[in-house]
Structure 1
Amino acid sequence: MSKANIMTCDFEIKGKIPKEAFEMFAAAQAKVLGLRGYITQVSEDCFKGQLQGEGRVIEAFKQMILSAAEYVAAVKEFVIKNLKAIDDYTYKTFEVKDKGAK
């Protein structure tokens, strides 16, 4: 099998995090790591989204968010849910979605 296993998961980040700066930071980190999916703010203190990529890269993204100096005090929790293998990507890139967007 030449292709690395592609994983998908939902994620949730809780904390008092500044919206625009954090979404841009998360999107930049995801793109650097080669992850696909999205992030959206669902409430004042909660972001949700989906990640697609290699399992170890998803874990690296989580660690990067948790250890980012400018957000380390603001992020209270980072939860990964529904982690499973998929055959192919359903997202072309990683994007920031507005709360109202589907």
Structure 2
Amino acid sequence: MATEKKPEIMTCDFEIRGDMPKEAFQLFAIAQAQILGLRGYITQVSGDLYRGTLQGEGKVIEAFKQLIMTAAEFVAALKEFIIKNLKAIQEYTYKTFEIKSN
């Protein structure tokens, strides 16, 4: 009897550049991450730069990126979404997805 392999947990850092309204964008990002079951955080580093960490299945991280990139209310303001340092981890280090203040 074959045992089903659990999907790997991935972690990555991300950067989003764009002139989006801070509160609305962060709440949107949290809602999407929670719907997808991602963990990590987002924080605004400067006026047009957000950084954070995502943890979840690789395909779910990619789905999050696509949701953010195609969100009608932010698509015109969004300049780029970069995923860096993608790697597998043994277990989650975040309990939820949250906003961190800097």
User: TM-score normalized by structure 2?
Assistant: 0.95
The aligned residue for residue 4 of structure 1 is: 7
In 2, Cα distance between equivalents of 1:10 and 1:98: 16
How many matched pairs?
99
Mark the runs of 5 or more structure 2 residues left unpaired by the alignment.
none
Structure 1 residue 4: Cα displacement: 1.1
SS in 1 for 2:51: strand
Gaps of 5+ in 1: none
Within 2, Cα distance between the matches of 1:21 and 1:15?
Answer: 13
Q: Which runs of 4+ in 1 moved over 3 A?
A: none
Q: Percent identity?
A: 71
Aligned to 2:42: 39
Residue-by-residue CA offset, 1:77-98 (whole Å, 9 max, x unaligned): 0000000000000000000111
Q: Does 1:61 align with 2:64?
A: yes
Q: Give the equivalent residue in structure 1 for 2:88.
A: 85
State the TM-score, normalized to the length of structure 1.
Answer: 0.95
The residue aligned with 1:49 is 52
Task: Report the CA distance between 1:2 and its aligned residue.
Answer: 3.3
The one-character-per-residue Cα deviations of 1:13-48 (angstroms, maximum 9, x if unpaired) are: 001011000000000000000000000000000000
Name the counterpart of 2:24: 21
How many angstroms apart in 1 are the aligned matches of 2:84 and 2:90? Answer: 18
* Larger Rg computed on CA atoms: 2
